[in-house]
A and B are shown apart, each in its own frame.
Chain A
Amino acid sequence: MKTRIKEYRARLNLTQAQLAQKVGVRRETIVFLEKGEYNPSLKLAAKVARNLNTTVNELFILEDHDYD
């Protein structure tokens, strides 16, 4: 899974800690999410997307092998 969290976060000039604070998660969770190393719940994905003024579809890009 690829994510565009870093890109959207940079557009809003937010640090990882600031985004974590806005979303209500630990900074490590944001780090793992940005690297695509954590599959968030739909609720968390929607929360991150809302705080970055975008949609879940824009933020999380699933590749073919992610559907296996």
Chain B
Amino acid sequence: MKSKIILVLCVSILAVIVLGLSIAAIRLLGSNNIISALLVTAGALSLIIISYNVLKREIGYLKEGIPIDDERSKKTRMYAAGYSYFISIYIWLSLLIFQRFLDRDDILITGLIGMAISFWASWAILSKKKGLV
């Protein structure tokens, strides 16, 4: 049951992100910014393709009765959160150094995206790491 809730939550978050990217692409296209619109569309498409493969695997596991979350995946997430916390501190510090040259909105968006990327990168590295204690 818990696995199903996690899966539904992931699909919902993904749908919101893809919808947001699609709206951004349409707006960019409207303002004749074709290259940026193509980049955003490519990003949305690659997100859909990657997510489709991951979700297909996870649904297969769920049908077999294998949980989505277990001891190792929880530990991996915990370690990833720890690493990304330290990385985020340095991201925000470096953004503060350059605050004179950036808008407040740019700083906030870059900082938040940096935090998200640092978490996912740490998670991706740690999930393949040997000897996780």
Contacts and interface: CB of A to CB of B under 8 A. Distances in A.
A and B interact: yes
B17 interface: no
Contacts of B66: 17, 20-21, 25-27
Given A37-B130, A39-B131, A21 B70 contact: no
Contacts of B72: 25-26, 28-29, 32, 38
A21 B61 CA distance: 9
Given A17-B66, A21-B66, 16 more contacts: A17-B64, A25-B67, A25-B70, A25-B71, A26-B61, A26-B66, A26-B73, A27-B61, A29-B71, A29-B72, A29-B73, A32-B72, A32-B132, A35-B130, A39-B132, A39-B133
B65 interface: yes
Interface in B32-89: 61, 64-68, 70-73
Contact of B70 (A17, A24, A37): A24
A: interface residue count bin: 10 to 19
The 7 A-B residue pairs with the shortest CB-CB distance, nearest first, are A37-B130, A25-B70, A29-B72, A26-B70, A21-B65, A20-B66, A44-B71
